[in-house]
Amino acid sequence: MTALYRDSAPVVGTPAPSSAESTAVVIDDQPRRLSQRSLDDTFSLAGALLASLSLTWLLYFLVLPFSGTVGFVVCWWVVFMATYAGVIALGNPLPVVKDRVVAAAIASAAGLVGLAVLSVVIYTVIRGHNAIAHPNFFTQSSSEAPQAPFNQGGIWNAIVGSFVQIGLAVVMSLPLGVLTAVFMTEVGGWFARIVRTVVEAMTAIPDLLAGLFVYVTLILYLHEPKNGLCVSVALAVTMTPIIARSAEVALRVVPGGLREAGLALGASQWETVRQIVVPTALPGLTTALILAVARAVGESAPLIIVSGASGFFTANPFNNKPMNSLPLYIYIGLRSGQNAQIARAFAAAIVLLAVVFVLFAAARLVSRQRVAR
C-alpha cells in the first residue's frame, strides 16, 4: 500500500505504511520563492546576453543598413529581453517568466541611470584632476593669479562664499519652512490647503524665477547692490518650499496618539507641538534641511542674475562687493575659453560633487536612524 506524506507527516485517515510493503511519497507544498536564483537562471541570463549580442551585431552591422552606437545598444536591449523571456519560458511557469523579465527591465533602467551618473563623475574627475592635485587650490583665491599655472591660485574665495550664502539662506528658510509645515499639519483648514497648494507649486517652479524675483525686488526697486545677501535671499526662496514639503511629511508620520496624550495631560496645542511633535519629528526635519541644502548648494541660475562675478575674497554678505561661489566660479571658468581656467572649473565641480554626495549620504543616514527608532 502507498501512503502520501505532507511535510514529513502522514495524511490523516491513511494507515501507517509498512517498511516492506509500502512506499512513502513526500509532497512538498512550500511555494517556490521567485527571488531565488539558481545556477540555471544564471546560465540563462548569461546565454541570453551573449546570444542577443551576437544576433544584434550580425543583423545590425552586416545585414541591415544601420549604424550608430546608441541604436545598436537599444536594439540589443530589445533583442535581449525577447531572448531572455524565451529562454526562461522553456523551463519555468508564466509567473516566473514575468518576474524575471520585469526584474531584468528594472535592473537595466537602474544600470542606465548609474552609468550616466558614473560617466559624469569620471569625466569631471579626468578634466579637473590636474588642478585639484595642488594644495594651493583649496587655500588661495583666484584673484591672486587668475591666469597663472596650477600651482598658483585656487577656489578659497568661492568655498567661503558658498558656505556664507548657504548659511544665511538656512537662517532665513529653516524657520519659515518648519513653521509653514507646522501650520499645514497641526492647524489645517481651508487656508492650510491653499498654503499646501502654493508650496507644492513652488517646488516645481524653476530656480531662475527666484533669481528674477530677487533681482526685481531687491536690486531694481530697493536698489540693493549685487552682494551675498541677494544670493542668500534667492537661495532661501528656493529652499523654503522644499523644507516645508519635506517637514510636513515628517510631521505627519508622528503618531496621533502622542498629540492626544499631550492634550489629555492639560498641555495646549502649541506646547504639544513644541515639546512632543517637533522633537519626535526632529530626524525628519533634519533630513528636510539637508535635502534643501544639497539642492541649493549647486544652484547657478539665481547666482548668475543676482551676484556679480568676483575673483577677490569676500566674506561679508552685506557689503557692496560681489561674492563668488562654487557654481558661479564653475560657470565663469567654463566660459573663459582658457584651458587652465576650464581645468580649474572642473576641479571646482569635483569639490561641489563631493559636497553634494556628503549631504545626500548624511540625509540617508539620518533617515535610516529615524526608521530604526
Is-contact 186 269, C-beta < 8 A?
yes
pLDDT > 90? residue 228 = no
Segment 133-164, tens digit of pLDDT: 888 888 877 755 556 677 777 888 888 888 88
Going by pLDDT thresholds of 50, 70 and 90, the confidence category of residue 269 is: confident
Fold of 156-372: MetI-like fold (1.10.3720)
Which residue shows C-alpha cell 546565454? 47
Nearest residue to 281 via CA among 370, 177, 214: 370
Instruction: Quote the crossing angle between the two packed helices 156-182 and 228-253, to the nearest 10°.
Output: 40
C-alpha grid cell, residue 34: 521567485
Where are the domains positioned within the chain? Answer: 1-30, 39-130, 156-372
pTM, whole model, 2 decimals?
0.73
Question: How deeply is 85 buried, as exposed, middle or buried, from its count of CB atoms within 10 A (0-12, 13-18, 19+)?
Answer: middle
Distance in angstroms (rounded) separating the CA atoms of residues 4 and 65? 63
**Stretch 223-243: mean pLDDT:** 87
Which residue shows C-alpha cell 569676500? 314
Is-contact 3 17, C-beta < 8 A?
yes
Distance in angstroms (rounded) separating the CA atoms of residues 53 and 64? 15
Segment 54-94, tens digit of pLDDT: 988 888 888 888 888 888 888 899 999 999 888 888 888 88
